[in-house]
Amino acid sequence: MRLFCLPHAGGSAGTYRRLLGNRMAGVRVTALEPAGRGTRAHEPPHRTMRGTADDLSIRAADVLAGDVLAGDDPDGYALLGHSLGALLALEVAYRLTRRGRPAPRLLVVSGRNPPHLAPEATDLHRADLSDEDLFARLVALGGTTARASGPLIYRTFMPVLRADLALAGTYRPPADRRPLDCPLLVLYGRDDPLTSAAALRQWHRYTSGPYRFRSLSGGHFFPMEHPRDFAAVVEEECAALPGRRSR
């Protein structure tokens, strides 16, 4: 099965190769990189959810079409996204199904309240924050370290982060959209100040299929704080999907 991974605000999808490895028990970890970071750092970031999700869904569809042309059957696909990536994963899933693809074997949303609800704390989305204040808030969440600050980071990283935060802060899902028909897994850090258990439970409205909630130790960036635990849960949930072929 091919697992498309989408990053948090300001992050790179390539991080998942370090967190999950390139292949886990028959799961092909595939970074689905938005413009403006990682291997696409030379491209300007998209400013809307529509543009970002359209771009990423086309890239995912191309990968899946390439598998077919190569005579390679990846046993379906799954999507995983953390924080902003959770919203992107949801939108990519909808777009792939509209393109005639089957629904994902699994949709994993991590570290994000459902899209009809705001994060529990919204200071990060304030447009009037200076680079220094915004960076300090990111450090407090565990997304980076204070020693990483400096003019180069502010010049290269902060524009991407701000674009991503604006994208997440203005996104609203269509009110008349039907739920996806796929399993949904919600992962969250027990000490994450941006989510709450009550809010996370409302992710169930986005699927007509089975859904599960699993908490892990850590704060908002729990996948990076506890990568082995995170990888073990993802691998376990993928392996338990009905109809998965053994590898």
Residues labelled catalytic: 83
CA separation, residue 116 to residues 128, 139, 161, 168, 174 (Å): 24, 27, 21, 11, 9
Give the C-alpha separation, 184 to 79, whole Å. Answer: 10
Q: How many CB atoms lie within 10 A of CB 225?
A: 16
Give the C-alpha separation, 9 to 173, whole Å. Answer: 18
> In which order are the strands placed within the sheet that holds 77-82?
23-24, 27-31, 2-6, 77-82, 106-110, 184-189, 211-216
Hey, what amino acid is at 54?
Answer: D
